[in-house]
Structures are given as C-alpha cells and as structure tokens.
Amino acid sequence: MKLFLKFDYTTVCNRVIEEQLKMFNFKYQQTAFGEIELLEKVTSKQLQEFNSSIENYGISLIEDSKKIMVQKIKDVIRDMVLNKENDVIVKTSVFLSEKLNHNYSYLSNLFSEVTYTSIENYVILQKIEYTKTLLVKQDLSLTEIAYKLNYSSVAHLSKQFKNTTGITPSAFQRIVAKRKESHLQ
Amino acid sequence: MKIALADDDEDDRFFFTEAFDELKVKSKVSTFKDGIELMHYLEQAENELPDLLFLDLNMPKKSGISCLQDIKANSRLKDLVIAIYSTSSSEEDVEHTFVLGANIYIKKPNDFEKLKKVLSEVVTTNWQYITSGLNKDNFLLRL
C-alpha cells in the first residue's frame, strides 16, 4: 500500500525546533520564523551540540550576518510569492527594500554574492516552484495559477516555466503523473 | 559541492572536470569510467555521496539508465540528485529518464564555453534546492 503525504513546512520546522530546544533545556523565545532568542547564556560547546543535533533534520544555525540577511530576503520573497493574492501589487525591489530597510542595490549585490544567483532569478524560481506545487497538489489549471500569482497572462507564465525548467507545464504534469503510476504498480 | 560523473569517454570526462575548475561555485569532482565502477563506489556505505551525480546514458558494461534504476531502488541512494549527461536529445530518452527519477537532463554541448554555462546553471539551480529547502520531487530541469 502506498500513502501520499502532504507537509506543512512551517509547522514541521517549528515543532522540531521546539522539541530540540526543550531537549537541550534552553530558555528561549521565538521571535520570528527561523529566529530564536535565547534568554539565558549558553556555552559555544552547547551551541555546537545543538547545531549538530538539529542538522539531523536538515536545519542549521546561521552565523554569518550576510547569510542572515540573505535568509531574510528569501523569507520575504517566499511570503511575497505565497501570499500574492492578498498584496497590493508593488515591484519586488520596492517591497524588499521597504520590508528590510536597506536600499535595493545593497540587497541585490549581497544576495548574488552569497547565493550565486540574482534576486530576480530567485523570485522567478520561487514562483515556478510554487506553480509546480499547485499543479501537482491542488490540481489547479495553469490559467488559475497565472491569476493567483499575478501573471499578466497564462502565456507569460507558461513561457517563464519553459525558460526556467526547460520543459513545458504539461510535460511536467505528465512526467509527475507517470512517476506516480509507476510507483503504484 | 561534491560532484560525480560516470562517462566512458575520456575527453568528455576531461572537459567536464576542466569546466568545473573554472566555475565560481567551489566543487570537488570525481569521475568514473563506467556504470559498474560508479555503482561499486556508491554502494560502499563508507564512501561519501555526491551532491550531484551526472550519468552518461550510453556506457559499456552498465548503461546510465541501468545505474539510474539501481540508484532509485536503493534506499540509501534514492535521494541523490541525478543529471543525465548525454549526446542524445530524443524526446523519448528525456521523458523516460525523468519518469525513472532523473532531475536534470543535459544534452552535451559541443563547445567548452557552452559546457561551462550549462554546468553553471545546473549547479546554481541545485544549490537553490539545497539551500532553500525546495521540494526535490519537483526538481526537473532540461538544458
């Protein structure tokens, strides 16, 4: 028998972190997603142990301040893409610099330096990834997705999908469906 | 990033390694001259697994498709990111390998600059999947 699971990324991460922090007896307060304030001093050895323990879950501490800023940019982009329907449409550059209180060229250079890609490309990647998820999990049509993600037309989304992945949305759907089929056999 | 390539063509292995040396992303490349040698390495539990594995399709002794099937059937190896690296660009090969679980399909470029560009795109995309927790099941890229 095959079971297909759906994950809530945020809940999973928060629950893991909560359990891990408790296991280490750290007094803490969660200040934002992926941001924890420790209320008591801990030694660097404890932190190292904590880090190797959470690494089993694919989570790790970010030390570098550049990396922290990049992570913040990624979080804002992710929120922006996921909640597009509730937002007033503004340009990504304006939205990011307002949210993070830095000018865009600073953020943009920093981002490229750390991630080897540009903010623009990253936004497109996130949108296309979200499109894939919606195609697979929610069975939305490409037209519905284009509307949801604020594309000017379904042709625009379709073209961006092809440019980013090298395959068309329908080929993507067909491949995923065939994979499922062969797993079920 | 740890990269592995299985390809029976010595020149292809050479250019591949050279191209990686010139990319911005730091990498360590290991090469294997056929499918048997590759699988022998991967199946030893003490050996480090690559972050990205490139498979040529037509190899003597054991083909890329056969390696791909063995990898997907092995619980320790099945989550490896796999790029098919082939001279063929037939739609059947592309779709068949994607359905079998490959993530990336690259038609071998015939000049070095193009090769560098393609590999750079593969590596940076893979990097985003690793560092941004994207869903690898949806990772399909054709170049």
Mean pLDDT of chain A: 88
pLDDT of residue A138: 79
- Residues 138-177, chain A, touching B (beta carbon < 8 A): 165-167, 171-172, 174-176
Q: Is the pLDDT of residue A184 over 70?
A: no
- CATH 3.90.660.10 is held by the domain B2-142: no
CB contacts < 8 Å between A and B, how many? 53
Give yes or no: residues A161 and A80 share one domain: yes
Query: Residue B133: its pLDDT value, please?
Result: 81
Gap from A73 CA to chain B (nearest CA, Å): 11
Residues of A within 8 A of B140 (CB-CB) are 165, 167, 172, 175
**C-beta of residue B91 within 8 angstroms of C-beta of residue B100:** no
Q: Is A112's Cβ below 8 Å from some Cβ in B?
A: no
pLDDT in tens, B100-124: 999 999 999 999 999 999 999 999 9
Task: Give the chain B residue nearest A58 (alpha carbons).
Answer: B133
Residue A150 located in a structural domain: yes
Q: Considering A27, A43, A61, which residue would you say is the last residue of a domain?
A: A61
Q: State the nearest Cα–Cα gap between A172 and chain B, in angstroms.
A: 8
| Mean pLDDT calculated for residue range A92-119 | 92
Least confident of A24-33, A84-93, A136-145, B83-92: A84-93
Decide if A82 is inside a domain.
yes
Same domain, A78 and A129: yes
Q: At A137, which CATH number?
A: 1.10.10.60
All structural domains of chain B with their residue ranges: 2-142
Q: What range does the domain containing A38 cover?
A: 9-61
**Tens of pLDDT, residues A29-71:** 888 888 888 888 888 788 888 988 998 898 888 766 788 899 9
How much of chain B, in percent, has pLDDT values that exceed 70?
Answer: 100
**The pairing of beta strand B2-6 with beta strand A35-38:** unpaired
Option in A58, A133, A175 nearest B140 (CB):
A175
Note whether A106 and A146 are same-domain residues: yes
Least confident of A84-98, A133-147, B44-58, B59-73: A84-98
| CA–CA separation, A71 and A33 (whole Å) | 11
Question: Token pair for residue A85?
Answer: 């329907």
Query: A137 falls in which pLDDT band (50, 70, 90)?
Result: confident
Looking at the fold, whether A106 and A152 belong to one and the same domain comes out as yes
Which of B98, B133, B135 lies nearest to residue A175, judging by beta carbons?
B98
Q: What is the mean pLDDT of residues A90-110?
A: 91
Give chain A positions within 8 Å (CB) of B127: 115-117
Task: Name the more confident of A58 and B139.
Answer: B139
Phi, psi dihedral angles at A38 (to 5 degrees): -85, 130
Same domain, A77 and A34: no
pLDDT(B99) > 90? yes
Residues A143, A71, single domain; the answer is yes
- Chain centroid to CA A67: how far? 15
Nearest to A127 by CA among A176, A163, A103, A181: A163
pLDDT at B5: 98
Give the mean model confidence (pLDDT) for residues B39-57: 95
Give DSSP secondary structure letters for A68-131.
Answer: HHHHHHHHHHHHHHHTGGGS----HHHHHHHHHTS-HHHHHHHHHHHHSS-HHHHHHHHHHHHH
pLDDT value at residue A86: 53
Same domain assignment for residues A135 and A174: yes
Residues of B in contact with A184 (CB under 8 A): none
Region B85-112 average pLDDT: 94
Q: A30 and A82 share a domain?
A: no
Summarize the confidence of residues A109-116 as an average pLDDT.
Answer: 91
A150 — pLDDT class (breaks 50, 70, 90): confident
Across-strand partners of A28? Answer: A38
Which chain A residues are within 8 Å of B125, Cβ to Cβ?
125
The answer to the question of residue A125 being in a domain is yes
pLDDT band for position A161 (cuts 50, 70, 90): very high
Residues A83 and A162 in one domain: yes
Residue A26 confidence (pLDDT): 92
pLDDT at B83: 98
Chain B CA closest to residue A9: B133
Question: How many distinct structural domains can be found in chain A?
Answer: 2
Residue A172 has pLDDT above 60, yes or no: yes
How large is the average pLDDT for residues B20-40?
93
Rounded to a whole number of angstroms, the distance from the CA of B13 to the nearest CA of chain A is 24
Banded pLDDT at A151 (limits 50, 70, 90): very high
Residue B8, exposed/middle/buried by CB under 10 A (0-12, 13-18, 19+)? middle
Cβ of A166 within 8 Å of Cβ of B142? The answer is yes
Residues paired with residue B54 on neighbouring β-strands, in sequence order: B5, B83
Looking at residue A87, its pLDDT comes to 56
My answer on whether A70 and A142 are in the same domain is yes
Average pLDDT over residues A161-172: 96
What is the reported pLDDT for A84? 59
Residues A54 and A72 in one domain: no
Q: Is residue A135 part of a domain?
A: yes
Q: What is the pLDDT of residue B132?
A: 86
Are A47 and A70 contained in the same domain? no
